[in-house]
Amino acid sequence: MSTVATHVLVIMLHGVGSSGNDLAPLADVWRDRLPGAVFVSPNAPSPSSFGSGYQWFSVAGVTEDNRSSRIKDARASFDATISAIVKENGFEDRLDQVALVGFSQGTIMALDAVASGRWPVGAVVGFSGRLGSPLPLEPALATPVLLLHGNADAVIPASETTKAAALLEPLGMKVETVIVPGLGHTISASGAEKAGSFLAEALSKIGERD
């Protein structure tokens, strides 16, 4: 089992209508793989349009045509949230020791952060999400990405993970995808374990990248 003894920062990004508390338990799953890691699971900046929890951007009336502009508009508040966490924990000059982990809308924002090149972090893990970023993409090529998705997801189809990889890999990004049979819009125990292994492996290579 791979472990990372170095000091790393894992920022967990929840889905729409949820809160940071919903992803915080992942830290307990990954702590043995990432000893000494700092885990932060913030609330998204805005209250949900649907009355409970928080959101990175509103999905009220969202369409394929307007999603990318909403993501673009959400970048300022997203970047402010991530910047504050990075600064508070002393990682401003160590982004290769930072990982972004998203679920659903959190995955959308994590993928946008790296696909736009704004956040060249050490690793990105995305559960049950999609790549909705405005084109053209200018990705942080050194950041490895793991995307996991249930093929029974009725909220965001698993084909979105396949499409994301098909867009990012030709640009030079390393993207691994895992499609979980029978899983809905959630994180499975096996998926969480796979993500922990991926993070330990990716963050153990700090200093080996160009």
Q: Where are the domains of the chain?
A: 9-203
> Do the Cβ atoms of 90 and 112 come closer than 8 Å?
no
* pLDDT of the residue at 156: 97
160 Cβ contact list (under 8 Å, min separation 6): 129, 130, 131, 149
Dump the DSSP string for 138-185.
---TT--EEEEEETT-SSS-THHHHHHHHHHGGGT--EEEEEETT--S
Radius of gyration of the chain (CA): 16
For the domain made up of 9-203, give the CATH fold: Rossmann fold (3.40.50)
How far apart CA 170 and CA 86 sit, in angstroms, is 30
Give the residue from 171, 33, 190, 159 showing the smallest Cα distance to 99: 33
**pTM given for the model:** 0.94
| pLDDT 10s digits, 174-190 | 999 999 999 999 999 99
Buried residues in 185-205 as b, exposed as e (16+ CB within 10 A): bebbeebbebbbbbbbbbbbe
| pLDDT 10s digits, 92-128 | 999 999 999 999 999 999 999 999 999 999 999 999 9
How far apart CA 131 and CA 56 sit, in angstroms, is 14
| pLDDT 10s digits, 56-103 | 999 999 999 999 999 999 999 999 999 999 999 999 999 999 999 999
Distance set, CA 118 to CA 7, 18, 55, 109, 115 (Å): 22, 25, 20, 11, 8
Q: At what angle do helices 67-88 and 105-115 cross, to 10 degrees?
A: 80
